[in-house]
A and B are shown apart, each in its own frame.
Chain A
Amino acid sequence: MPQQPSTRASASGATARLDARTGRDHKAISTLADDLLPALVAKLAASGLGEIEVREGAWKARLRKPAGTGRSAVRAGAEPYHAPRPAALEHARAEDSRPRPEPAEAEAEDAPIMATSPAVGVFQPRKGLEAGMQVRAGERLGTVDVLGVREEVVSPIDGIIGTSLAESGEPVEYGQGLIVIEMPEKSGRVEVGQAEQEAAAVLGEA
C-alpha cells in the first residue's frame, strides 16, 4: 500500500498528543491513516458524494470535499442567486493569460463546515434551534419546502450550532450553506495532500 506522506505524519502527530491511549487506539489510527484514508480519498474523488465517513474501533475518519466541488459550496450574501465569480469574464478581460487561482485550494483551508440545502425551495429552521446548541451528525436542523414536500436539512457532523446563513422563510438554492456547524475540537483537522481530489480529513473520537 503506497503511503500518503502528509497523512501519515499528521496521523502520528495526532497520536502523539494522545499518547496516554492504549495501543489498540494506535493501531486503529494506523489502519485509518495507512489503509482506509487513501482508499477513501480515491473513492470520494470518484464519487459524486460530498462526504464519506468510516469507523475503526473507537475511531472514525470523515472526508469532506472542499467548498466549490461538493455540496458544501456556498453562495451566501445579499445576492444569493448571482454568480459570484465570473471566471470566464475575468479571464477574457485579463491583461495577461496567467491561469486563475484554483478556488478549491484557496478555500479548502478555512471553509466552515455547514449544513447545506438539499434542494431548491423555502428554508424553515427547526423550532427552538439556537446558536451554541450541541447537535449530532445526521440530526434534523430544519426543512426546505419543495412544492409542498419538505426535504430535511441535517447536520453533517457532531458539533455546535454556529451562525445562521439563511432566514426562516428565505428561498434557498441547492447546496446553499444554511447553518454553520462549529467543530468542538478544531485542532483535530488533518490535511490530506497528494490526493488527486483535495480533501480535508477529520480525525476524532467516535
Chain B
Amino acid sequence: MFNKILIANRGEIALRILRACRTMGVGAVVAYSEADRDSLAAQLADEAICIGPADARRSYLSAPAVISSAIVTGCDAIHPGYGFLAEDEGFAEVVRAHGLTFIGPPPEVLNRFASKEATRRLFEAHGLHTIPGSEMLRDEAHALVEAERIGYPVMIKPAAGGGGKGMRLVRSARELESSLKVSRSEAKAGFGDDSLYLEKYLEETRHVEVQVAVDRHGNAIHLGERDCSVQRRHQKLIEETPSPALSATARQELCQKAVKAVSKAGYESLGTLEFLVDGKGDAYFIEINCRIQVEHTVTEMVTGIDMVRMQIAIAAGERLATKQSDVAPRGHAIQFRILAEDPSTDFQPQAGEILGYLTPGGPGVRMDSHLYPGYEVPSFYDSLLGKLCVWAPDRASAIARGDAALRELLVDGVDTNIELHRAILANQIFVDGKMTTNLLDRVGSAPFVAAGSR
C-alpha cells in the first residue's frame, strides 16, 4: 500500500479521497490553488500545499505543478479525482516516469481507451452492441444506400468532428440529400476534413452505465448499474440505482456482458461503461470513463463498498478483496447534484459566500459536500456544491426520503437548483421511472419548477 497520497483535485471529491485515505491509514496531502486556500479539504488535511494560482491551467491542470508538489511533500502516489488530469494518459506517463503511481488505469491502458471510436470497435469485438453506423460516405448514392441499411432517422456526423459541428439529424432520403452538402462544407470549414459518416439516431433514450472494477491479476467484477437519464444540456442531475429502465434479467445480462468485455479488452482500475438504452430495452455502448465518477455514491450506498478505497487498492497492485458473489446490491439509492445555479437566469453558474448551510439527516441520508458557513464559492471552477444521496429499501421510499432531505437542506448565500430537484421528484414521469435524457431540455426546466411548486 502507498505511504502518502497527493490529492490533486478540489471540492467534494478532494474531501471524499481524504476520507478514504484516513480510513485506510494512508497519509494524504491536499494540493490546492490559491482560490481554494480556505477549502474544507485543505483545512481538514494533515498536510496541504498551494500548487498555483486560481487558473486551473497553472494549478490543477498543470502536470509539473502537481508532480512537483507530490515530490516535495514525499508522496508516492497521486489521486487525480475526476475531471482535470483524471484521464490524461500523458500525465499518467509522466507521473510514472517520476517514480510515482497514478491512481487510475496505467498509462498504456488509458492510451488504449483514449479514442472513443477505437474503444467502440474494441468493445464491439468483445460482444457489446454499439450504435449502428455507416462506412465513410463516398458520395450521395452511397449515403442513401447506407442510410437505408441502418434505418432512419440517422445523424450525419463528421469523422473529424466534435462539439456538434456539421452534425445533422435527418429523417428521410429527401432530408439526407439536402443536408449532405451543408454538412460537408461545415466539416471542411470546421475541421479541414469533409469526411462524413452516418449513425443511427436513437430517440427517447435512457442513460444507463455499468460500474466495473478490474485488478491487474485478472480479476474483474461489476458493481451493478446506474441510471443517469435526468440530464440538462448533457449534464447529469439525478442518478439512481438500480435503473428503472431495466428488468432484473436485462440488468444481469448487461452487467455480465460489460464485465466480460472490459476483462477481455485488458482494462485495469475502476471504470464505467456508458450505454444508451432505447425504448425496446436494447443497450448500445457509447463510451468508457476511466475514473471515479461523481455518481459513485449511489453504488456505494446499495453495495456497501467503499469504491475510492477499492480504486486505491487496485492502483497499489492489490487483488480485488471483493468477489462477484460478494456483491449483493440492496435497496434503491438516488443522488441529487446540488449546483450553484440561478434558476431565474436559465441556471447560470453562481459564486459567492455561503451565509448559511444546514445538511439533512435521518436514515439513509448522505451528504458529500465541501461547504461550510462563511465559505466563499470561487467563480473559477464548476458549480457543484455537493451531492445529496438517499437510500431506502425501495424506489418509492427513496423518492420520499429524497424529497424530505431536499426540504431540510439549506444553502444560503448562493442560488441553487434544490427546487428543481424537488420539482422533478414530484413529476409523474420521474415517479413512473420513465425519464429520458432529452426530456428536461425538451420541456424546459422552468415548467418543471412551476408545476412542482403548485
Contacts and interface: CB of A to CB of B under 8 A. Distances in A.
Contact of A73 (B34, B43, B73): B34
Interface in A121-139: 121-122
Given A87-B43, A99-B374, A100-B374, A73 B68 contact: no
A99 B69 CA distance: 33
Given A48-B55, A75-B50, A173-B69, A89 B43 contact: yes
B65 A119 contact: yes
A129 to B, nearest CB: 22
B255 interface: no
A83 to B, nearest CB: 5
A146 B374 contact: no
Interface of B is mostly: mixed
Interface string A69-81: 0010101000001
Contact of B50 (A89, A97, A174): A174
B72 A83 contact: no
Contacts of A97: 373
Contacts, number: 87
A81 B64 contact: no
A162 interface: no
B265 interface: no
A20 interface: no
Nearest to B67: A147
Nearest to A99: B374
Interface string B39-59: 010111111111111110001
Contacts of B45: 83
B56 to A, nearest CB: 12
Interface string A138-175: 00000000110100000000000000000000011111
A91 interface: yes
Nearest to B31: A120
A147 B68 contact: yes
Contacts of A99: 374
Contacts of B68: 119-121, 146-147
Contacts of B50: 73, 75, 120, 173-176
Nearest to A92: B372
Most chain B CB neighbours (cut-off 10 Å) among A75, A82, A83? A83
B92 interface: no
B58 to A, nearest CB: 9
Given A147-B98, A171-B72, A91 B37 contact: no
Nearest to B30: A83
A86 B69 CA distance: 21
Contact of B51 (A82, A85, A174): A174
What secondary structure prevails in chain A residues at the interface with B? Answer: loop
B372 A91 contact: yes
B64 A147 contact: yes
Contact of B49 (A48, A91, A100, A120): A120
A206 interface: no
Interface string B364-390: 000000001111000000000000000
Contacts of B373: 91-92, 97
B42 A83 contact: yes
A89 B44 CA distance: 8
B38 interface: yes
A1 interface: no
B29 interface: yes
Nearest to B70: A120
A48 B52 contact: no
Contacts of B40: 88
A88 B372 contact: yes
B174 to A, nearest CB: 53
A120 B43 contact: no
Q: Which of B45, B55, B71, B375 has most A Cβ within 10 Å?
A: B71
Contacts of B372: 88, 91-92
Kindly name the residue among B40, B54, B72, B372 whose own CB sees the greatest number of chain A CB atoms within 10 A.
B72
A149 B68 CA distance: 11
Contacts of B43: 83, 86-89
B65 A81 contact: no
A122 B69 CA distance: 10
B98 A120 contact: no
Given A48-B55, A82-B48, A174-B53, A120 B69 contact: yes
B51 A120 contact: yes
Nearest to B46: A82
B142 to A, nearest CB: 52
A149 B37 CA distance: 25
12 contacts: A81-B29, A81-B73, A82-B48, A85-B38, A87-B43, A88-B372, A88-B374, A99-B374, A100-B374, A146-B64, A173-B51, A174-B50
Q: Which 10 A-B pairs have the closest CB atoms?
A: A171-B72, A88-B372, A120-B69, A173-B50, A120-B68, A174-B50, A81-B47, A86-B43, A83-B43, A146-B68
Interface of B: 29, 34, 37-38, 40, 42-55, 59, 64-65, 67-69, 71-73, 98, 372-375
Given A97-B373, A122-B72, 13 more contacts: A73-B34, A75-B50, A81-B48, A81-B49, A82-B46, A82-B48, A83-B43, A83-B45, A85-B38, A88-B38, A146-B64, A146-B68, A171-B72
